[in-house]
Amino acid sequence: MTHTASAVADPHTPSDDDARARVRSTGRRALIAGLGAAALGAAGSIAGASAAHASPVGAGTKNVTIAKSVSDLSGLRAREGEVAVVAGYRVPGDAGLLAYVGAGESDAAANGGTVIAGRAGTKWLLQHDGTVDFRVFGIMGADTPADDALDAMVVDPRIMRIQGSTDLLFQRRHRFTRSHLEIDFGGHLITTDGIEENTHDNPFGAVMFFSGVSLDVVVEHELAEAWPELTDAVAVPDATKFPVDTWWALQCDSVAGGGADEREIQRFVQVTQQIDGQHIRINYLNGWPLDKGRRLTWRQMDPVAGVRISDMRFLGAGPFDGPSDGSLPDSRERTGSHPIAFEYAIHCDVADVHASRTWWPVVMRRWNTHFSTERCSIENPPTVFYGGAGYLTQQIYSLYGRVSDCTSSNARHLNDLTASAYCIVENCHGDGDDQGGNPFTTHGQYEHDLTFIGCSGLMDIANSGAQWGTSAKRITVRDHVCSWFVAGTKISDLTLENVRVIGRSTFDPQATMTVNADGAQLRGCTAGLLAIGQRSARSSRPTTIEDCTFALPKDQVLIQTPVTAPVSFVRCTITGIDGMKARGAGPVEFLDCRLSGPATGAPAELGASRVAIRGGSVRDVLLTATAVRDQIIVVEGVELGTDRDAGALLSRAAGAGVVTWRLSGVSSTAEKGAAHLDVSAGVNHARITGSQFVGGHLRLAGGFSESSTLLYSDCVERQVEAGLPEAGARVLLADVLKIA
């Protein structure tokens, strides 16, 4: 139990006068001489005492009581308005100089710190400037639990700042509704050995959980009109039920045919205007449109506001020898500990919290708006596999947040943004990827407008499962370094700038990057394995990949079968093309790109409805049109070349599709035995003009029978073994310069 200095009056103790004689009473002149101006300043702060706790010192008060310790003070009867200066809690100086004022027969509960029980039911009230230290309660270190002291200070409205000056021990899980409070632990170690058991699956069972309060007002209705995207005005049945400046937990019904928890809107919002009788404005531009008839639920809350927790080292409670693979049961979810949680909170910040061996997220947030988490860290949590455990910070249904200058080591997630919007993560760095975690993630629960800048560590976006929708929109990542980047679910308008994926033998030697072809735009990125898929078609902007470099592994599926959107590569370098596959039907364009592969690599299979290669170069790569569908192959102004002695730089397979070829301004060089162009099967329509071929073969004779057509003109052949069809009604050969 927490130590208190409360004293119960004993009828056999000496009189008050005797006790005061022993403690010593002096006038103001002696006080100044004995304890200095600091004592006078502390005593002078009584002017700020709440009238609810004490009467002010009466005019003409001449005497000030001086005591060596709080226990000495508790032996005195507190006269109304009497000032007492105490040299320390147990011994002089251990808690600094303390000033109290007598409250007579106050009904304030004694707590051993800010309220000291005097004789005969009287109370001594601590005088302060709004800042109170745990030492005021006799907590001088982690040998005594500090839970009672924390409770007493948080619920005291006079206290605006709580200060920790020693290591502290907490053994309870506290829930507060207090607002406008700062708790600064002074960089000291917080431990929780012997903490009470948590409830099942409860990441809010933190040492300090600050939560808003429900006002028991719920409004449910169907939208009388559509709610367009990026609109802060919404239709409601009766605007008068939504007073300006009230706060609401807002969510829509689940998506028809979707996952059980798939909702586009779950946000904590403030009403900013009553536009008219049936429309209000809120402090949120919605990221996803809702059709007429969708159902909204509003729950009014009185939020906790303006709480700041800072400057602690936190060591989680043991034991730490549970399952290593996340399997159940795992009793550590009840016995483990973590420091901080917020729910229904606004402007609640955390800074300089450094934790190790924590179970649930170090900083857990749900229904938060306007917040920051700065300069925090986690290392070595007990698990990175148990769902929800081992995070630095998680934000659920949150808005307008900033996470900056944070780090993680051997953890699950440094940062998780779930169903959140308009948040930024900057200069955060996670290591220990090999341990199974990935520092940066979003849940896929309709997040939108999230930005990551200057971070390092694995990134996995919107990939938690169909239950939540696997959806996100307008995610931007700049100047990021990692060994694995996965964003292949229903992510619209993904923007990557200077993202570098560097393979590591102990984790992902292929340096994987996956993206969704739904408005994805990559600029200046570097990776090994690039995989482009498509699981959504919500964006109005093209998918473009500019000034990027990729080194593909063998047989890489560059563009997956479901891709129907156009994909453009601009000024990119793609190496390692060896059996590469572009299977999607959507058009693919390479503009001023450099494509290369090993001289012994397998042909690259192109299945797109339209493939355009304009400018740039293709070296030691055999490009084959699969003809699984009708295709258009455009090659313009490209330098083709190979050191191979077999195969064809451009060819078609024996698929049933009709292939239309457009070659113009091509310069191709091949060794003897290799072919520049091999069109020997199926139906083809080719126009080959203004090109130059050096060495190698042209194999066109077998691919232009029946209904095929060929225009071959204005070309130069140097030392080429040409196998062209005979000129005729469907074949025109003209102005060809041949040099032996």
pLDDT band at 13 (very low <50, low <70, confident <90, very high): very low
How would you classify the pairing of strands 63-67 and 610-614? unpaired
**Over 70: is that where the pLDDT of 47 sits?**
no
Q: Is the pLDDT of residue 35 over 50?
A: no
For residue 215, CA distances in Å to 247, 249, 368, 636 come to 10, 11, 17, 68
pLDDT score for 488: 96
Lowest-pLDDT range, 105-109, 309-313, 354-358?
105-109
pLDDT of residue 548: 98
Closest by Cα among 623, 635, 643, 730 to 690: 635
- Enter the tokens of residue 14: 């000496």
Residue pLDDT, tens place only, 86-101: 999 999 999 999 999 9
Lowest mean pLDDT among 431-435, 536-540, 602-606, 701-705: 431-435
Q: For 107-135, what is the mean pLDDT? A: 96
**Residues 633-667 as b or e (16 or more Cβ within 10 Å = b):** bbbbebebbbebeebbbbbbbebebbbbbebbebe
41 pLDDT above the threshold of 60: no
As beta bridge partners, residue 646 has: none
pLDDT recorded at residue 107: 87
Neighbours of 242 (CB within 10 A): 21
Statement: residue 353 has pLDDT above 80: yes
Provide the pLDDT for residue 609. 98
Query: Tokens 């109005």 appear where?
Result: 540
Residue burial 92-125, b: 16+ Cβ < 10 Å; e: rest: eeebbbbbbbbbbebebebbbbbbbbbbeebbbb
Q: What is the pLDDT of residue 29?
A: 39
How far CA 489 is from CA of 204, 514, 607, 614, 694, in Å, comes to: 29, 9, 22, 30, 45
Share of the chain above pLDDT 70, in %: 92
Please, which contacts does 251-256 make with residues 24 or more away whose CB atoms are closer than 8 Å? 251/296, 251/297, 251/397, 252/290, 252/294, 252/295, 252/296, 252/297, 253/294, 253/295, 253/296, 253/297, 255/469
* Annotation: CATH topology of 213-302: Elongation Factor Tu (Ef-tu); domain 3 (2.40.30)
**Residue 165 carries which side chain, given as an amino acid letter?**
S
**Predicted confidence (pLDDT) at residue 282 exceeds the cutoff of 60:** yes
Query: Which residues, other chains included, contact 287 with Cβ-Cβ below 8 Å and sequence gap of 6+?
Result: 229, 230, 264, 421, 446, 448, 449, 473, 474
**H or E stretch covering 155:** helix 147-155
Q: Is the pLDDT of residue 302 over 60?
A: yes
pLDDT recorded at residue 1: 37
Residue 200, CB half-sphere, CA atoms under 13 Å: how many? 3
Say what the pLDDT of residue 53 is: 37
Under the banding of pLDDT at 50, 70 and 90, the label for residue 437 is: confident
316's tokens = 């989680």
**Does the pLDDT of residue 11 top 60, yes or no?**
no
Give the mean model confidence (pLDDT) for residues 577-587.
98
Q: How far apart are CA 522 and CA 457, in angstroms?
A: 18
Place of tokens 């790569």: 621
Model pLDDT, residue 369: 98
The better pLDDT of the pair 222, 12 is held by: 222
Q: Give yes or no for residue 664 having a pLDDT over 90.
A: yes
DSSP 8-state code for residue 598: -
Residue with tokens 């030492």: 135
Name residue, tokens 């739904």. 518
Could you give the percent of the chain with pLDDT greater than 90? 87
Rounded to the nearest 5 percent, the helix, strand and coil shares of the chain are: 10, 45, 45
Question: Which range (21-35, 57-71, 482-496, 592-606) has the least confidence?
Answer: 21-35
Residue 705's pLDDT is what?
86
* Residue 286 pLDDT class (50, 70, 90 cuts): very high
Inform me whether the pLDDT recorded for 38 exceeds 80: no
Select the highest-mean-pLDDT range: 7-21, 23-37, 393-407. Answer: 393-407
Which tokens in the block code for residue 715?
Answer: 């070309």
Residue 544 has pLDDT above 50, yes or no: yes
pLDDT over 80 (residue 182):
yes
Closest-CA residue to 190 (of 177, 207, 175): 207
Evaluate whether 608 touches 588 at the Cβ level (below 8 Å): yes
Token digits of residue 133: 């230290």
358 confidence band (pLDDT: 50, 70, 90) = very high
Specify the pLDDT at position 151: 98
**How many Å apart are CA 248 and CA 117, to the nearest integer?**
43
Of the listed ranges 57-61, 219-223, 243-247, the least confidently predicted one is 57-61
State the average pLDDT over residues 707-715.
96
**pLDDT single digits (tens) 464-479:** 999 999 999 999 999 9
Residue 8: is its pLDDT beyond 50?
no
Residue type, 573: T
54 or 588: which leads in pLDDT = 588
Flag whether pLDDT at 132 surpasses 50.
Answer: yes
Tokens of 72: 């000495």
Confidence at 40, pLDDT banded by 50, 70, 90: very low
Read off the pLDDT of each residue in 663-678 and give the average, rounded to a whole number.
96
Contact by Cβ (8 Å): 634, 607: no
Is residue 719 over pLDDT 90?
yes
- pLDDT of 54 > 50? The answer is no
Average pLDDT value for residue range 340-367:
98
Span 383-394, mean pLDDT? 94
CB-CB contact of 622 with 648 (8 Å): yes
Residue 10 neighbours by CB distance under 10 Å: 9
**What is the distance of C-alpha 118 from the center of its chain?**
52
- Kindly state the DSSP code that residue 520 receives in the 8-state scheme: -
Kindly report whether the global pTM for this prediction surpasses the value 0.85.
yes
Provide the pLDDT for residue 16: 59
Whether pLDDT at 24 is above 70 = no
Q: How confident is the model at residue 324 (pLDDT cuts 50, 70, 90)?
A: confident
Could you tell me the two tokens for 32?
């100044």
Half-sphere exposure of 525 (CA within 13 A, CB side): 32
Residue 707 has pLDDT above 80, yes or no: yes
Q: What is the pLDDT of residue 26?
A: 44
CB atoms within 10 A of CB 585: 18
Chain-wide mean pLDDT for the chain? 92
Q: Where are the domains of the chain?
A: 213-302
Range 542-555 average pLDDT:
98
- State residue 19's pLDDT score: 53
pLDDT value for 723: 92
> So what's the pLDDT on residue 114?
97
